[in-house]
Amino acid sequence: MADEKMEMGEVGSSLMSSETKTPPARPPNKFERLYQPCLGELVGTTFFVFIGCVSVIENVESAGRLQPALVHGLAVAVMVACMAEISGSHFNPPFTLAIYLCGGMEMNMVLPYLASQLLGGVLGAAMAKGMTSGENYTKANGAAFALLQSNDEIGGAVFGEVAMTCLVTMVVLLGAVNAKTRSPLVPFMVGCTVIINILAGGDVSGTCLNPARAFGPAIVNNYWTYHWVYWVGPITGGLVAAALVRRSSECLFGTGEYHAVSILYPWASPQQWPTWESRPGGGINQLPPSLGGLLPLHYAAAPGRALLGSFPMRACWNSQR
């Protein structure tokens, strides 16, 4: 009887151990590396622009700027949280450029991201046109940025777009890309920054902050008056933010090094974790192309989830060791 119990115990132990075995790691396929992040950017930007345009077209006049501000801020927060581990949740060309300049993504993914965002802006604006009434759509100029009416307003509008885009981009870079200051509350922080920017500067420039948000309605409604303002201002603001965070880290953080965001490899086993190679003053430029995630949700290395990347180090992917 004792022998039978011993035998059953051994069988039970072997069954338990087999259940806890983790499946072998699988390297990402081409779809996951290249196409899935772009699809995430396309879907996220589409719904962000769609919701934002509808909020402007159907805006109750008594609500003023409050309704569009809340809708844009909450929409971007929700989409950032949902798409974070798929594409990094950029949805904005200045964000993509700033993240690339700070080492968060590969150069060969920049143009596909930008194209996905602009196409998403057009699709979102087209969806908004199909949903809303013709009268309201015409009255709101299709949610295009039609606030500027004279050259006298251009200076303040451009400066406002530069300053406010710089602010929200710094929130992204400091809250999600800088290892010393990153926070899991980044979706909330970015959403709140968008809300306060629209409330503060809505009467000056309309507070675009995002060329994809301006480009979609301009295409669908064929409205191009002062459209260039909403490219020059936000892109300049994003570049200024990247320069401030990347080059002024000594003043901001008391160190001469800028530590970039950790990049996650969800499929990586401990044997596939990367090796490191020092490169003073460098960036992360050896990562697989689609892995420059903006908002990773895990900040500690764990089995099956390797934690990578910080300036001034270069990650060298090594799946052979």
pLDDT digits (tens, 9 = 90+) for 206-265: 999 999 999 999 999 999 999 999 999 999 999 999 999 877 655 555 544 444 543 333
Nearest of 47, 283, 66 to residue 177 by alpha carbon: 283
Whole-prediction pTM: 0.74
314 or 72, which is more confident? Answer: 72
pLDDT digits (tens, 9 = 90+) for 134-174: 999 999 999 999 999 899 999 999 999 999 999 999 999 99
Domain boundaries, the chain: 30-253
Q: How would DSSP label each residue in 171-187?
A: HHIIIII-TTT--TTHH
Token representation of residue 141 = 């100029």
- Tell me: pLDDT of 298 over 80: no
257 and 312 in contact (C-beta within 8 Å)? yes
What's the CATH fold of domain 30-253? Glycerol uptake facilitator protein (1.20.1080)
Tell me the percentage of the chain whose pLDDT exceeds 70.
68
Cβ-Cβ contacts under 8 Å for 81 (sequence gap 6 or more): 89, 187, 295
64 or 317, which is more confident? Answer: 64
Residues 180-199 have a mean pLDDT of 93
Long-range contacts of 189-194 (CB under 8 A, 24+ apart): 190/76, 190/77, 190/80, 191/73, 191/74, 191/76, 191/77, 191/80, 192/73, 192/77, 193/73, 193/167, 193/168, 194/69, 194/72, 194/73, 194/76, 194/168
